[in-house]
Structure 1
Amino acid sequence: MSSQELVGLAEVADLANVSRTVVSNWRTRDNRFPTPVADLRSGPVFDFDDIVKYLMRRKKAVAQVIATINLKGGVGKTTTTIGLAEFLSAEFGKKVLVIDLDPQTNATTVLIGEDRWRELNDRGQTLVSLFTDALRRAGEDASFDLDASLQRQVSPVKEVRTVDLLPSSLDLIDVQDRLASMPSGQFYSDNPTDLLRRAVKPVLNNYDYVLVDCPPNLGIVTLNGLRIADGYIIPTIPDVLSTYGIPQIQSRVMSFADNIGETIHELGIVITKYRSASTVHATTINRLVDSEDLPPVFDTWVPEGNAIAASAEYSTTATLRQKYQYQGGYEVFRALAKEFISAADEIA
């Protein structure tokens, strides 16, 4: 008779110090997860030694890649991205890469300032070079240099020491329309939505989190961001116009994920620029929360306020408390970052 030790999903969760939901996600998404020894009425059981070996392999750093997207501009998308990046770094000790795909370059200028951005743009050390290379004819030299473009230890907040940046460029507006006609390459190996993944693959797992600030559209540049994403969040003002495109985002992301054979999870909707005195805001939030078809709504709502609005400017401060101020902004973004970590863990 075999002395093989068996464990169920609850025991696996205890061994890994995660929730049972996380273990279920591992089984669904990770083809390395051990095959059950048997499927009992109480659930599947696994060989203990196989599970231990699997958990040891999972200890290797694997970045969580989360895209931020909304089809409407001005909804606090970049403010949310930068706030999460800075708090994940300074408050929770995480290493974060911000990939700015938005041609408006707001995330880039908030983190490094306009002067430094202009220098990089003039030298071709932004992500526009990556996409321009895809349009070059066979035999022409590529210009994108990942190491030169990657800006390390950015943010004007001194206590934020572990945020890196791949900067954007205004020229992405012109390049995006031309990407659909890029050369296909030998055996049709060049895919216009796979350019970013192939470029950043060498550095991706140097980080705990990669935050991709996507343009306010569902074009090829945005699809490059979604191609590397494990999940996405939708920052939005709680009004009709800002939330109108959420179902379109959901259906397009789902179709794209099915097409590439991957799962891109809905982490949730982040309420931004919230006004407690607004009946429209209260009504819209209730509609979002009550809907069974829309993504879940984060419990933390980012209020409209001067300190949070000012956080979208490049301004040197010593601490996050000084940047976001003690009343409101700091506490809100810290709570949002903590909730974000929990949501990302659920899809790990």
Structure 2
Amino acid sequence: MAYIISTINLKGGVGKTTTTVALAEFLSAEFHKRVLVIDLDPQTNLTTVFIGEERWKQLNDKDRTLSTLFKDALRPEEEEPRFDITTALQRRVSPIDEVRRVDLLPSSLDLIDVQDRLATMSPGRFYSNNPTDLLRKAVKPIIDDYDYVLVDCPPNLGIVTLNGLRISDGYIIPTIPDVLSTYGIPQIQQRVRAFADGLGETITEIGIVVTKFRKASTVHTNTVRRLKDDPQLPAVLSSYVPEANQIAASAEHVAAGTLRQKYGYQGQHDILRALTEEFISLVEEKV
């Protein structure tokens, strides 16, 4: 069975997508895992990192993104659904040669408009339709093909995010160690816990991933200490992703032979590998 983990933060620009991409690529290349990445964020950054803007536009024009899945729920019941998991699923998407098995369910800008309308979807026959259950039903035929599924959630707690959490065993919170980026962590915890309780299930707190870390910053070091000392917060993973130009540049769709070429030779690769190894250990321990 796959381990399904969501990445979430209520603030944008905190390295959430970069963290998800790095984990997916290192899980595949360094730890030989079969990985599926599900992009639920309407900004589509994760999608374009893996397949580029041109290929994304082709898929979007052909209704082969996750927005089509959610749009189907808003169509009259007599209309045939347009979403097809077999054509939407993009296989072996990373532009890095040594990353052999990362597949993708791509996002779309159209998710911005769809999300607010999902609460009005038809209840369906025998009231079988639930707006937070759409993704679970769609991915059920393919989910067991993978060791890890990473779900990149939007920076909110709306219905699309709840679809990601609905299929998840746990979640991580990537964050810059400053006040604004960490402010919403308790709210995430409370909302996820309440949602899981309503389902009668458990969605485990895997941990906080510190991103864009500046060792020389007093704010950053003090914030990390505060996060680690607060018993009410999830555990802080011990590998802090540094603020580095090459890691920032990794958000571009650029071909490379190896992960060292992509992420950098000045320790960035080793930190991200260590982060992934710790991530695997925590997931397998907690889930």
Q: Secondary structure at the match of 1:269?
A: strand
One-letter identity of the residue aligned with 1:276: K
Q: Percent identity?
A: 70
Post-superposition offset of 1:114? 0.4
Residue 133 of structure 2 corresponds to residue 178 of structure 1: no
Corresponding residue of 2:100: 161
Structure 2 matches for 1:299-314, cutoff 5 A? 299-314=238-253
- The number of equivalent residue pairs is 287
Segments of structure 2 that go 5 or more residues without pairing to the other structure are none
After TM superposition, give the deviation of residue 138 of structure 1 in Å. Answer: 1.5
CA–CA distance in structure 2, aligned partners of residues 85 and 263 of structure 1: 23
Tell me how large the CA RMSD over aligned residues is.
0.5
Report deviation, 1:347: 2.4
Counterpart amino acid of 2:134? L
Cα displacement (A) at 1:168 = 0.1
Q: Does 1:273 align with 2:215?
A: no
Structure showing greater radius of gyration is: 1
Residue 205 in structure 1 maps to residue 161 in structure 2: no
Query: Cα offset for 1:188?
Result: 1.2
The amino acid across from 1:174 in the alignment is D
Match of 1:94 in 2: 33
Which residue of structure 1 lines up, in the alignment, with residue 74 of structure 2? 135
Q: Could you tell me which of 49, 52, 56 is aligned with 1:113?
A: 52
Q: 2:258 aligns with which of 300, 319, 326?
A: 319
Shift of 1:186: 1.5
Which one is further off, 184-193 or 207-216? 184-193
Q: Which residue is equivalent to 1:70? A: 9
Which residue does the alignment assign to 1:345? 284
CA shift at 1:166, angstroms? Answer: 0.1
Partners of 1:220 and 1:307 lie apart in 2 by 34
Task: After TM superposition, give the deviation of residue 328 of structure 1 in Å.
Answer: 2.1
Q: Which contiguous aligned blocks of 4+ residues in structure 1 show a shift greater than 4 angstroms?
A: none
What SS class does the counterpart of residue 327 from structure 1 fall into?
coil
The alignment partner of 2:154 has SS state of coil
| Partner-residue secondary structure (3-state), 2:173 | strand
1:187 to partner: Cα distance: 1.7
The one-letter code of the counterpart of 2:145 is N
Specify the code of the residue in structure 2 equivalent to 1:173. Answer: I
Q: TM-score, normalised by structure 1?
A: 0.82
For structure 1, the 5+ residue unaligned runs are 1-61
- In the TM superposition, what is the alpha-carbon distance from 1:329 to its structure 2 partner? 1.4
Q: CA deviation at 1:152?
A: 0.2
CA distance in 2, matches of 1:138, 1:341: 42
Per-residue CA deviations over 1:9-63 (Å, capped at 9, x if unaligned) read xxxxxxxxxxxxxxxxxxxxxxxxxxxxxxxxxxxxxxxxxxxxxxxxxxxxx00
The aligned counterpart of 2:272 is: 333
TM-score (norm 2): 0.99
Which residue of the partner structure matches residue 147 of structure 1? Answer: 86
Q: Which amino acid letter does the alignment assign opposite residue 16 of structure 2?
A: K
